[in-house]
Amino acid sequence: MAQRIKTKPEELRDQITTAVAGINGAGASWPSTAPTKTAVQTAGTDLAAAITAADAAEAAWKLANQTRKTKADICYGLMQRIDQVTDGLYGPSGAEKNNYGLTPKGAPIPALHKLVQIVTQDGLAPSDGNPQFHHQMVYAVAMRTIHNFERALGRRIHWKPRPDARTGGDPPRKRLPSVDEVRFGGLSVAAVC
């Protein structure tokens, strides 16, 4: 059994257009309590405009999606070529492949190595045998953690003042702790956030 009142927008638009013609044909016999010809005609015109706009947007979306796929395919092909070139330059498992956005073939990069890449852009070159590099990484991770914690708190962290070097006890009360200073054991460093 066919549906009396259509639900698909295009079919409903056609049904409204037919209704407007029917109301117009009824003339004075059309009840005054029923929807007016103007109201029905306006609703039909608005629906037709919305259908046209939606069709145009859908066509534009399909075109944009196809363009995106084409551009992604081009970039994928370029990255395959870059991967082949870097294999020849640095070997398939060369760490230098990271500089080109490629993971070296073999084992995946550990999460800490990714953090080292980000943090050391202006610092020491990564080196397992260099204790200064390890100190730099510990400091950088600690400072980033403190920065994120302070941002979550919505305020700076207030640090305990340093002990008085002369007496080994608490510092004089007149000295306030510096909020730009962090202590790691006996090492005091300025905060760089």
CA angle (97, 88, 115) in 5-degree steps: 10
Question: What is the SS3 assignment for the chain?
Answer: CCCCCCCCHHHHHHHHHHHHHHHHHHHHHCCCCCCCHHHHHHHHHHHHHHHHHHHHHHHHHHHHHHHHHHHHHHHHHHHHHHHHHHHHHHCCCCHHHHHHCCCCCCCCCCHHHHHHHHHCCCCCCCCCCCHHHHHHHHHHHHHHHHHHHHHHHCCCCCCCCCCCCCCCCCCCCCCCCCCCEEEECCEEEECCC
The predicted structure's pLDDT at residue 134:
77
Question: What is the separation, in whole angstroms, between the first and last Cα of the chain?
Answer: 71
Q: Convert the pLDDT of each residue in 114-165 to its tens digit.
A: 555 555 556 667 777 777 777 778 888 888 888 888 888 888 887 776 666 6
Cα–Cα nearest to 178, from 155, 157, 164: 157
Distance CA 191, CA 144 (A): 10
The predicted structure's pLDDT at residue 135:
76
Q: Convert the pLDDT of each residue in 34-48 to its tens digit.
A: 999 999 999 999 999
Mean pLDDT rounded to a whole number for the chain: 79
CA angle (126, 131, 135) in 5-degree steps: 85
The dihedral built from the CA positions of residue 161, 167, 172 and 178, taken in this order, carries a sign that is negative
- The model carries a pTM of 0.43
